[in-house]
């Protein structure tokens, strides 16, 4: 194991810490770590990310459930359409995309390049959301089941396409559309992320062999991080941390775009 791979395992701790502390951001870190530190291609990385984030979020969601910070009726309402969409995208849509999508002169848009660029755009959007909502004044609305189902379908599409759990979308939806307080929204979000991520991974596993000897140890490292994050959440203002994390994600998104298109 070289230094870069070792640093990848150390960075895997941040995946869990982020999920435990602010309920999102884990998948934003997972794909770049798997691609640039662990040397996986983008298609494999987005699939493996779903497993890592899914298992880690499930552990965090279970921990929150024990303290009453999970609304299971919302998990079902949001999670079922999310689960179905994520599975279908990984099982049917991603395999149907050709390896080379198109060419312009000497430039070739490949499937891995498209996924990394799409992921970078998602990172930039997530970063701006985290930075702008560092100290949000939430005004919960009345429960809108239709909007929650639509939001679940949209985040399932995101999860399946780029391996992102979508916590930065799920939490605001749970607060605004379901009227959940922040702590319960974070706990509920973790269960939803787990459901849609593991469903997406199941769709991916349907089409490819999985390197469990790599994936399980990496996941266990990330898993240990979520308990660190949950412990820190009792001592650190998660909203202030979210702003700083947002700037980090912003830099990572710009780095991916530059690396994929320029370097």
The full set of domain ranges for the chain reads 3-261
Render pLDDT for 109-125 as a digit per residue (tens, 0 to 9): 888 888 888 878 877 87
pLDDT at site 219:
93
pLDDT top residue among 214 and 142: 214
pLDDT top residue among 231 and 51: 51
pLDDT at site 1:
61
pLDDT at site 216:
94
pTM (whole model) above 0.85: no
Mean pLDDT of 61-74: 87
Under the banding of pLDDT at 50, 70 and 90, the label for residue 135 is very low
Under the banding of pLDDT at 50, 70 and 90, the label for residue 241 is low
- Full DSSP string of the chain: --HHHHHHHHHHHHHHHHHHHHS--HHHHHHHIIIIIS---HHHHHHHHHHHHHHHHHHHHHHHHHTT---HHHHHHHHHHHHHHHHHIIIIIHHHS-SEEEEETTEEEEHHHHHHHHHHHHHHHHHHHHHHTSS---------HHHHHHHHHHHHHHHHHH----HHHHHHHHHHTT---HHHHHHHHHHHHHHHHHHHHHHHHTTS---HHHHHHHHHHHHHHHHHHHHHHTTS-HHHHHHHHHHHHHHHHHHHHHHHHT-
């Amino acid at each position: 194991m070289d230094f870069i791979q070792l640093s990848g395992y150390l960075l895997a701790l941040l995946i869990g810490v982020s999920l435990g502390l602010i309920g999102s951001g884990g998948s934003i870190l997972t794909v770049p770590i798997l691609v640039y530190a662990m040397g996986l291609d983008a298609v494999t990385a987005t699939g493996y990310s779903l497993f890592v984030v899914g298992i880690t979020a499930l552990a965090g969601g279970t921990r929150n459930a024990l303290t009453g910070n999970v609304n299971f009726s919302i998990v079902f309402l949001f999670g079922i359409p999310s689960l179905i969409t994520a599975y279908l995208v990984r099982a049917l849509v991603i395999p149907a995309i050709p390896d080379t999508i198109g060419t312009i002169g000497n430039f070739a848009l490949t499937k891995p390049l498209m996924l990394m660029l799409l992921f970078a755009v998602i990172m930039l959007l997530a970063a701006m959301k985290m930075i702008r909502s560092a100290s949000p004044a939430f005004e919960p609305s009345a429960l809108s089941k239709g909007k929650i189902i639509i939001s679940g379908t949209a985040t399932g599409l995101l999860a399946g396409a780029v391996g992102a759990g979508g916590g930065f979308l799920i939490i605001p939806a749970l607060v605004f559309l379901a009227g959940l307080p922040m702590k319960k929204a974070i706990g509920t979000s973790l269960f939803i992320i787990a459901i849609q991520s593991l469903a997406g991974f199941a769709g991916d596993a349907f089409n490819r062999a999985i390197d469990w000897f790599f994936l399980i140890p990496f996941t266990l490292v990330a898993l240990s991080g979520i308990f660190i994050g949950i412990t820190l959440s009792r001592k650190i203002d998660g909203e202030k941390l979210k702003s700083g994390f947002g700037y980090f994600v912003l830099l990572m998104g710009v780095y991916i775009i530059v690396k994929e298109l320029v370097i």
